[in-house]
Structure formats: structure tokens, C-alpha cells
Structure 1
Amino acid sequence: MRRLFECSIGIRTGKFPRFHSLKDPSRGHVGLPRDRDLGPSKSGSEETFPSPLRDLFYDPKPLSNISISEFAFHFLTSSWLIKFIPYIYSLVFIISMPLNVMAIIIFLFKMKVRNPAIMYMLNLAVADVLFISVLPFKITYHFLGNNWPFGSGMCSFVTAAFYCNMYCSILLMMSISVDRFLGIVFPIHSLSWRTLGRASVVCILVWVMSMASTVPILISEQTMDIPILNITTCHDVLDVKEQQTFYGYYFSSLSILFFFVPLIFITVSYVGIIHSLRASNIGNASKKKKAIFLTVIVFCIFTICFGPTNIIFLSHYLHFPGKIKESLYIAHILCVCVSSISCCLDSFIYFYVSPECRNHVYRLLCRTKALNLNIKKPLLGARIPMENV
């Protein structure tokens, strides 16, 4: 995802600095502009960065005959990236894998797929399992000191899976929110709209759109050999070259189409749900308050998990001083890590949307206790006649 930050620089300045691979040691920086001799621009003038960005990218650390920026050097070797990030990913894997596998089993074999809500939640759980399945590769990568040992193709696949999960989850959560809005605000009229067939079509479109959005990542090189550190990075330091303009528009378009547009639909849906529940005179007041509270919680989960990452995507196209730019760069990595926690929190959405799902989970988790209670009931019933006698 760090390619985004390199791409955005050329777009803001209107000039595109030349980037060179470390495979050619004589050509300068890896994924970063050379200090000198950048060559003439189309207008004949030298292409340079604004001075604030020069503080960030133009403080090279000479090592052998190759140099990378001071910031890039410390970033790739920082302990928080090598230890803290993989620990978080490991925790997400341990917690979310059993939760989502259990959810898939419940949706398929216990509840059956018989209404739109279950269809959306089943696909959301499948998307989470896809993401969780590739986490061990990211965990290994960071624990090895940001060294990718699995090959270029696997790097592209894992990176694409990250994006695919995030945007597929966003679109499915939007579908769930719209479905609940129709069911609560228009309970009678929406019966003809909220059909299993239409929900299936929506899920197919969501998967097609999410996968299609990651095709540029799948077909492009995502690894970079850095002999100066004796590592091969995956989607961290890349040679952007002519693709700089394309990736700038690419990532900004993803953020707008797959986050900010769904955010509008989700906000309108949940505001409508809350307004409808408050205005309704039917039902228990405490239950309505609980439903409103849960609606707010689900909305907060969505914005906290996916908001920061996509906001930073767009903020990098604004002119910020170097220190702010550096902070945003690091914040982006942390936000991507935080977004992975959504795989754990999605289980909360399942419980919120479907009371039947809650009941099945309770039965699975409390099976031993339920069996003990069933054994005791006949015994208690047998004592009553004896006591009466």
C-alpha cells in the first residue's frame, strides 16, 4: 500500500520524478528519487520536489554503493513494524478464524440461506476467511524483518486479497444496512424487494466489483529486492516509474467509489433506522433503545475500521509539510492493521442482525451446560411425586 504515497507526490507537483530499481546500483534510490541529475522535465527545467518533501525523501543514508532515504531505512528496520504489527495480525488470526468458520457453519447448516440478511452475512464471513487465510504470509513477512520469501506471484495475491477483503466487506456491510433500513422503515412494501434471488445477485456483483478492483495489483510487480538490507519487500518499496499517474488515480478512485459512496448509503440507512425506531409507538421502549444503541455501535465499528485508511488515501494528495507527511505515512500502516480487526468485529454484526444466529451460537457454546440441564430435569420431576407422598 506504500506505493500510494510515492505515486501521490508526482501528481501533486505535476512532475514525475524518475524512480530506479536497486537491481542497478548505479541508478540511485529504491522507489525514491535520486539526489541529483533527475533529468530535464518536458518543459526543460529540472524536476524537483517541494522543499518540505525533500526533508523526508532527500536525506539519503549511504550504504555501500546504494543509498536509500533515512526515513525509508528506519521504517523498514523499525521494531514496531517487525514486532508490533505481526503480533496484532497474529491475534486477529487466532480470534477471527474460529469465529468466522463457526459463522459459516451456522449460516449454511443451522439457519440455512433462506433470506437476504443471511445471504449477506454468509458472504461477509467468506470474505473475512479469505483475508484471514493470507494473514500468516503477512505475519511471516514482518517477523522476518520485512523479507518476503514466498515469491512475486504470492505477494501480488496477498496484497490483492487485502484490498479485496476491505472493499468487499464495505460493500456487504452497505448491503446489510440498506436491507435493514428497508425491513424496518418499509416493512410491508419491501417484502417484494427483499428477496433471496435479488440478494444473490447483489452478492455476485459485490464479489465481481471487489475482484475487478484488484486486477491492477495482481498483474503488476509488488516485490522489490533490496540487497542493501538483504531483504525482498512486498508492496513496501516499489519502482513506480510510468505507472505513477495511474496508481495515483487508481487508489483515489478506490477510496471514493468503495468507501465514501457506501459511507453515504450506510449513514442514511442507519439515520433512517434510528429515526423510525424513535418515532414508532409500537414495541417495548427498552428494546427500541437497545436496537438504537446497537445500530450506533455497528456504525462506529464501520467508521473506525475502514475510515482512517481511506481518509489517509485521499489526504496524501494534499500539500502537507514533511513532518505531517511522515506521520501520515506511518499512520497509514497502523490504520491498515486496525482495519484487519474488522474480521473479529463482524461477528458482532451477525449477532446484531440475526437473533436466530445468537441462539445457535449460544447452543454451540453452551451445549455441555444444556445437556446437564436436560439430564437434571427428569430427576427433579421424579422427586415431586415422592415429596407429595
Structure 2
Amino acid sequence: MMNNSTADCNLRADFQIYLFPAVYCLVFVLGLLGNVGALYVFIFKITPRSSSNVFVINLALADTIFLCTLPFLIHYHLNGNNWIFGSPACLVIGTLFYTNIYISVAFLTCICIDRYIATVYPLTYLRLRATRCTLWVSLAVWMVTGAAMLALVFTGPLDSVRPPKNGSHRCYESFSQREWASRMTAYNVSGLVFGSVLPLAIIMVCYPLVARRLAHIRTRTSRRALRIIYSILAITTICFVPYAVVHLLHLLMRHQVIQDCVYANIIYKARRLTMALVSLNSCLDPVLYYFTTSHCKWSFFKRLRLRRTQNVYTINKRN
């Protein structure tokens, strides 16, 4: 059945009331432990810091800020998608949620480019390290994303809280077709192109080239670098690529390029699934942090391994 507008379609994803609280609770607990632990290790335990470690610290900081928004979203979905914290809080929490997606992709891309230059152009990499280029790049990422976030908050492009027909207050939902066709277009298209497509293209192209070169080098350092590459490719493939693809389809649907209600409902449900998937990056990133450390072992795992070794030695000695 074809419709003149997807606004006439009854877009529903009832499973989100159960999906989001379960996923967000898991991400909050595991992500907070992993990211706070990573910040402690990389800031206080690892010196001197490599350029990759600087990017990892920034990524862990961005993830930690994002995780602080999840209790509000968990309450929102457990409360039947009814937002009770007011429109300003909805605008800030929603902005931080979507900003984390793009800032995480940005720092993963920075790590990707850093490893690519270090592997393919080692002399150039040494000169860049001497200029503290990593710190300037990190500052630029925060300034650009911060400016975009402030523009979204202060220009007020959205009446972020809407009371639909059932009386509950929706946060970042139920926008009119007119809003999708006008003022939301610039934010969504810019985020899709500069925050997703271009960075993900760099990651998916550069890392296989680096992995191909490192595969011929049989050293401990190269094996560690390959683990970093594979973990970033896995995080990108699981969390960010599906979100970017469905986001593109969602924009096409909102702009009436896709008008079939069957496809519109599939895209609407897929968008909910990919929003849950993209939040998983905050609890998968600590896997990357683990591989990024110089010896690929954190102190907790060292103590745990030492304790097991001592127990085995004690048992053998008694026998």
C-alpha cells in the first residue's frame, strides 16, 4: 500500500520500552566501570603517554559524560516513554546522547589516522609527535562538537518535549513532517555526512591497509597493533555502521523518498534497534583501552593472574 505521506503511517516499536532499559542498564554498569577505570589507569598509571593514549583518554571522557545521561533515559523508557524532567533537561540530555555518537566516531578516527601514519610514514609520525599535534587535534574535536552542541541548544531548533494524544510527554519524538522537512534537515544531514559517513569511510579504508602491512611483521608490537585495529573495526561494524545506514534510510523516509508504510515501519523499528546498538560502544570501548596499554595488561588483571599463580604454586608445594 502506498501513502502520500509517512505521517499517515502508524509507526510503532512497542518493544523499545523493554529494549532500551535493559540495554542502557547494562551499558551504564559495565561502561562506567570500564571507562572510569580506564581514565584512572591512563592518567595516573601510564607515563609517558603515547599519542594513541591521549586520544583514548578523550574517548573515555566522552563515554563517561554520555553514561551520566543514561539514568534519565532509563527512567524515561521505564515510565512508558513519559519525560518528567522538563524541556530544557530533555534538550540537554538528547543533545549529549547524539553528540557522543559523533565525538566517539571522531576519536576512533583519530586513533585510526594516528596508527596509519605511524605504520606507513614513521618519520612523519615522529615529527608530528614533537609538535604536540595530538593535543591540538583533541582540542579541535572538542571545540567543534561543543560548538555544534551549543548551537543546537541555544538556537532552539526543537520543541524537544511534546505531549501526544495519550497525555505522556515525549522527549525527542513526535516531530511534525514540516519540522523534518525544514529545520531538522541541516542538523541531520551534517551529522550523517561529517559525523558518520566520512569518519567511518576513513576507518574502514585505512585500518585494513594498516592491518595488511602489519600482518607481515612478526613482532609483539605489531600483534598488539593488530588487536587494536581489529577491536576498532569490530566496534565500528557493530555499533556505528548499522546506525549510519538506518539513519540515512530514516532521513529518506522523513523526506517522503520512502513512502510505503511497510518499509516505513521496518525503518522505524530498525532505528530503535540501532540506537540501542550504538550505545553499546561505551561498554565495548574499554576492550580497546585494554589493548592500547603498552603491555596489554591492567593492574587488576596482573594481580588476579599473580594470585592464581601463587595458589597453583602453593597447591603443588603441598602435593
> Runs of 5+ in structure 2 lacking a partner?
none
Q: What residue is the counterpart of 2:190 in the other structure? A: 253
Asked if 1:52 is matched to 2:2, the reply is yes
Counterpart CA distance in 2 for 1:233 and 1:249 is: 22
User: In the alignment, residue 128 of structure 2 is paired with which amino acid?
Assistant: W
Change (3 A) 1:323 1:88: same
Cα 1:276–1:376 change in 2 (3 A) is closer
Residue 313 (structure 1) aligned to one of 247, 252, 262: 247
Which of 249, 254, 264 does residue 325 from structure 1 map onto?
264
Q: Counterpart in 2 of 1:370?
A: 306
Q: How does 1:236-247 map to 2 (within 5 A)?
A: 236-239=173-176, 241=178, 244-247=181-184
Q: How high is the TM-score relative to the length of structure 1? A: 0.71
Counterpart in the other structure of 1:264: 201
Q: Letter of the 2:213 partner, please give it.
A: S
Q: Against the structure 1 CA distance between its residues 195 and 371, is the aligned structure 2 distance closer, same or farther, given a 3 Å change threshold?
A: farther
Please provide the CA RMSD for this pair.
2.9
- Matched residues in 1 for 2:300 and 2:227: separation? 26
CA contact (8 A) 2:95 2:149 kept: yes
Q: CA deviation at 1:122?
A: 0.2
Cα displacement (A) at 1:112: 3.8
Q: 1:137–1:97: structure 2 CA closer, same or farther, 3 Å change rule?
A: same
Q: Deviations over 1:137-163 (max 9, x none)?
A: 000000000000111111001101111
Deviations 1:242-275 (A, max 9, x none): 6741211320121101111112222332132123
Scaled by the length of structure 2, the TM-score of the pair is: 0.86
Instruction: Please tell me whether the aligned partners of residues 159 and 217 of structure 1 are also in contact (alpha carbons under 8 angstroms).
Output: no
Cα pair distance change 1:125/1:375, threshold 3 Å? same
Distance in 2, Cα, partners of 1:290 & 1:103: 18
Q: Answer yes or no: is 1:212 the counterpart of 2:161.
A: no
Structure 1 residue 83 displacement after superposition: 1.5
Q: Percent of counterpart pairs with the same letter?
A: 25
Which whole-Å CA distance do the structure 2 matches of 1:272 and 1:368 have between them? 36
Aligned equivalent of 1:224, options 134, 143, 162: 162
The 1:333/1:252 distance shift into structure 2, 3 A limit, reads: same
Distance 1:260 1:173 in 2: 13
The answer on whether the counterparts of 2:231 and 2:288 sit within 8 Å (CA) in structure 1 is no
Aligned to 1:127: 62
Residue 88 (structure 2) pairs with residue 114 (structure 1): no
Q: Match of 1:331, as an amino acid? A: A
Distance change in 2, residues 1:330/1:372 (3 Å): closer
Distance apart, 1:308 and its partner CA: 1.7
CA contact (8 A) 2:235 2:281 kept: yes
Question: Structure 1 unaligned runs (5+)?
Answer: 1-50, 60-70, 384-389
Count of matched residue pairs: 308
Distance 1:292 1:368, change over 3 A: closer
Contact 2:214 2:226 in 1 (8 A): yes
SS at match of 2:192: helix
Residue in structure 1 matched with residue 285 of structure 2 by the alignment: 346
The structure richer in helix per residue is 2
Offset of residue 307 of structure 1: 1.3
Greater Cα radius of gyration, structure 1 or 2: 1
